[in-house]
Amino acid sequence: MRIDGLQYANWSEKIFRQLREGGVDAIHVTVAYHENFRETVQNLEKWNRWFELFPDLIMKGRSTSDIDTARDTGRTVVFFGFQNPSPMEDDIGLIEILYDLGARFMQLTYNNQSLLATGCYEAEDTGITRMGRQVIKEMNRVGLVIDMSHSADRSTIEAADLSARPIAITHANPHEWAPALRNKCDPVIRAVTERGGMLGFSVYPHHLKDKSDCTLESFCTMIARTAEKYGTQHLGIGTDLCQDQPDSVVEWMRVGRWTKEIDYGEGSSANPGFPPMPKWFRDNRDFDKIEAGLLAVGMTPTEVAGIMGQNWYRFFADNFGPVQN
């Protein structure tokens, strides 16, 4: 079983076919960065059209039973998520509506302060806001997973503590291995994993040691050492693959509508576009290289199977949908 905890590709038939060639059973895809509710619905309309055009390759996901169906029928199941709470605007009632439309993940922040929490690029982290506490309760109630991938440390730890259900960091790496603003320090990873949450390892070059020159051995050794510290069962893959996206999309991701200036984020101001991917992971056909690399650094087949997909499957089964009494 292979599950990717986060992708934001420029979707096409080519990529859908590569998902199948790579044996990817399920993916969490970003359908909103800074979009409001109506704009997010328009993005969902695009996905409905792709499901209609390519029914032999992809299918919409709502629960883990859909992963089982996809595996039985040779397809990839697609789960929707937001990298910002902008689709819910300032209306807590929209959370259930968005869940009913198919959303299964929502980040409480992107890089900036939101109405709910503090993003990782802010100088001061004031933690979860009053509205954020109410939104966490509502997300717990309907079964929308709290994702803190772009959130600051205090906010993430508070979210893990306040949430009645485990939360996720779908795409990031340990800060001690690669000191990027988006990567997570030890107290943050512990707060998430000790409460049953998940960390998805990213192959996005700005999150890697040596960036685009990161080796497969280095990446897989990092995963093995992380497993020793926090437990293998709380780890998965969240590639943050942005395949075939034009460089102009980076501006939308980082800037949105909040500034008139260019925000270069973790990238170099001389090259604000997407960095080259490491040679060992160019697209979805390369998941087998990660699997082989994990085995090569000494992880057991059972541990590797968990990281490649089974841990996400279990997490989805427990956390998609309302709590069953």
Question: Can you list the domains of the chain with their CATH numbers?
Answer: 3-319 (3.20.20.140)
Full DSSP string of 262-289:
---TTS-TT--SPPPPPTT-SSGGGHHH
Tell me, what's the pLDDT at 266? Answer: 63
Tell me, what's the pLDDT at 151? Answer: 98
- 140-164 residue pLDDT tens: 999 999 999 999 999 999 999 999 9
Tell me, what's the pLDDT at 323? Answer: 81
Ranges of residues in the chain with a pLDDT under 70 are 264-272, 325
Backbone angles phi, psi at 135, to 5 degrees: -65, -40
In Å, how far are 61, 107, 171, 310 from 65, measured between CA atoms? Answer: 9, 24, 24, 13
- 276-293 residue pLDDT tens: 999 999 999 999 999 999
How many angstroms separate the first and last alpha carbons of the chain? 29
The DSSP code for 122 is -
Among residues 155, 216, 213, which one has the least CA distance to residue 184? 155
Contact 165, 140 (CB under 8 A): yes
Tell me, what's the pLDDT at 143? Answer: 98
The DSSP code for 38 is H
Tell me, what's the pLDDT at 274? Answer: 86
Residues belonging to the chain: 325
